[in-house]
Amino acid sequence: MSTASFPRVESPRFEHHRRPVGIGEPAPRLSWTVVTDDLPGWTQRAYEIEISDESGATLTATGVVESEESVLVPWPGTELGSRQRRGVRVRVHGHDGSASDWSPWSWAETGLLEPVHWHAGAAAPPRELLGAPDGPALLLRRDFTVRGPVAAARLYVTARGLYEIEINGEAVGDEVLAPGWSSYSHRLRYRTHDVTALLRGGGNAVGATLADGWYRGRVGFNGGRTGVYGDRTALIAQLEITYTDGTTDRVVTDGDWRCASGPVTSASLYDGEAYDARLVPAGWSSAGFDDASWLPADVLDHDATLLVAPTGPPVRRTETLSPVETLTGPAGETILDFGQNISGRLRIRVQGPAGHTVSLRHAEVLEDGALSLRPLRDAAALDTYTLRGDDTAEEWEPRFTIHGFRYAQIIDWPGELEESGVQAVVCHTDMRRTGHFSCSDPLLNRLHENVVWSMRGNFVDIPTDCPQRDERLGWTGDIQVFAPTASFLYDSAGTLTSWLADLAAEQAALGTVPHYVPWVDLLFPAEPAAAWGDAAAVVPWVLYQRFGDLGILRAQYPSMKAWVDQVAALAGNSHLWDEGFQFGDWLDPAAPADEPGKSRTDHALVATAYHAWSTQILADTAGLLGHEEDATRYAALAAAVREAFRGEFVTPTGRLAADTQTAYALALHLNLLDKPEQRERAGRRLVELVTQDGFRIATGFVGTPLICDALAAVGAHDTAYRLLTQRECPSWLYPVTMGATTIWERWDSLLPDGTVNPGEMTSFNHYALGAVADFLHRTVAGLAPAAPGYRRLRIAPRPGGGLTHASAELHTPYGPASVTWTTEEGTLTVTATIPPGTVADIDLPYAGTTPTEVGAGTHTFTGPYRPA
């Protein structure tokens, strides 16, 4: 057998971590991907795992374990304690008798796993330095001594507020807006940094800049709130130094830290940042700086049980864009067009006299040639930089704010503005890209790219609704509908696992799933609402289906159960959820601009449909987790809710009381109709409604993600394609024809005449309506999961809409999978790549064919085809 015929194991992975340093799991589950170049149909029969310590000594050797599992395999060694580093390598054996060499070593290191291992206090700026919320960012520092050769040094750090930290004048880490936003009252994430290379013998210094951020600054709409979590920011940092002789030192936030004001004179997530470069104390984060005039920091108590290691990546700078055009506004103003709507900020290189201030204003769109600022509501989105007056160009990027923008107005730039002097820095959660799609229609390709950019713009630590106005909240309804798309485009499991932990914590404290997580008490009370609160059940289920992680269901089960029980109590013996507040089919295009909840579909119908769905999800979850009594009870409840739905909203022939596209999409997609003749009539009626509406969108947040799937489920693929490829408003492609580079909140956020929709809510970066991308992946291209984690795939493209080719690629937990199809002269050719260790159901639209099963490898199928 040639060497090319042996399987090869790539570096093992730990849980859902991209960089497994400072992890919080004492027994991290392991995953690995097998590459088999010339072994079609290869499946794993067994594996071997070795675990070593830093010295290379073997701690665990499993021997040959007869198992086909390779995703989230239980940790085979002893549980890890705090600060422990372990290497793992894997070898696999195939059913065909093949065996791999050992994989490369992968290393993981735990953080501080027990509260008793935290010795740091919370160093807070004294009150006399604090301004009003969203005021200055303050500097904290202290000196320390390194007394010998260093073997290793780790910094464990977080803050009440936003922080950036330096050692000896060098930045620690590359995170943006650290520590991110979580439900601070319940969970505060810290990060672990290897800072060994930043230390030097003798005198050293550590310094931090601390801003209000979500902790103390303004958060939310309708005027927002400040001081949501407290009125004092604080740094919590613990530097641990291990010397080559085995001794250790610890530097923590305590009474030895000193504080002063700095160059950031104001910092607001919504309003922007003001920076005066003349106020930078030279060398302030280096050893030997004279801080005698600085004030001592106050040391506050903090609850170390709230400190948790992250499960997903932080926000980072992920891309830099240059302007594509320099425009002149109607008042002569200079406006840069970056060609893409993003979340991020500007980086400038500027030279001019000391004290001169450059202002940077941001907006998503232009109206009458000028920045359209009204959609920002009460977010000023204005950054200012006051120059030092250096002999060379000064470079600056704000650090404690973020904006949603495509256009930037540059005000009072000294001298001639060159396009190289201003760049846009894209910032979002640094998730690994996993899924791609393309087809022969450039408008659909742009639509899909818009979905990707809207996900990037709105995954800024948590999944938000928008990145630009005075809101940016973790709306539960948005991610509930978008989770399948998010799970395809990016490895979002770690990020959403963290958000779900916050959801469960807020739910336990409030007695219900709030409308957004983290919760901030604004205009709405915390009360249950269908499709929004159902994120408690739907999102964990989607993550299980897409990533094969039963642990997420196990962790979220109490939350899922509490949600279903609450709604069941509200519905009572009738099993109809027909009372209380509901968002309904939010932003139905027929709703008035200032009444987005005034949809055509009965709110009780939507609520009861979701109650049935979440209850069935809970029943299925209980069965998977071995809770047999719960599984039986909730399956019966789900059946009763479906029966109640039919009794209240469905005629014997299959017509619905709410004669809307959303109502039929819900009934069909959620399997609420039990008789074939009802499904057939409901399907025909849905086609009739879509046709009557001229193949234009007539659905809001609830119906839009389901409408194409519902049509496809009844065989109306042609209707689905006509709806998908419609260009007139309202439609998915109308914004594309209007130059959109992200998904809009409203179908007509920009009206045909180029004016902005007059509604108060008019975002140009809102991913929810982009949930249709999951249909592009599963049905247009034909790549879908048929078992959790894509252990079994479904290859079932359904060409149409005049497309001549389409493809999808996905890095599944088992490895890369792809589907490509082309049509030419009545022939459909499909090529599918199936990862090692998996199988696929091939269901192609050839006349007279039946689904078949194939194993790992690349397979090509050709046959006669007539488009739908």
Active site residues: 471, 745
**Alpha-carbon distance 165 to 706, whole Å?**
46
The token duo for 288 is 């030997």
**On the CB side of 664, how many CA atoms lie within 13 Å of its CA?**
28
CA 77 to chain CA centroid, Å, is 32
Q: Where does 524-581 show beta strands of DSSP type E? A: none
Residue recorded with tokens 């640094």: 430
**To which residue do tokens 């990546």 refer?**
313
- The residues, ordered by sequence, that sit 6+ positions from 449 with a Cβ below 8 Å of its Cβ are 741
Residue pointed to by tokens 């936030």: 253
Q: Which amino acid is at 431?
A: M
Residues 261, 265, 271, CA angle at the centre, nearest 5°? 145
SS3 577: coil
In order of 650, 808, 811, 830, the CA distances from 781 in angstroms are 34, 6, 15, 10
Residue labelled with tokens 């060159």: 418
Amino acid at 326: T
Helices vs. strands in the chain: H and E counts, helices first: 14, 47
**Of 452, 699, 488, residue with least CA distance to 584:** 699
Q: Say if strands 435-439 and 162-167 run parallel, antiparallel, or are unpaired.
A: unpaired
State phi, psi for 546 to the nearest 5 degrees: -90, -30
Q: Residue 779 in contact with residue 755, Cβ under 8 Å?
A: no
Q: How far apart are CA 97 and CA 721, in angstroms?
A: 47
Rounded Cα–Cα distance for residues 248 and 251 (Å): 10
DSSP per-residue string spanning 182-242: --TTT-EE-EEEE-GGG--SEEEEEEEEEE-HHHHS-BSSTT-BS-SS-S--EEEEEEEEE
Q: What angle do CA 61, 63, 64 make, to 5 degrees?
A: 145
How far apart CA 213 and CA 566 sit, in angstroms, is 34
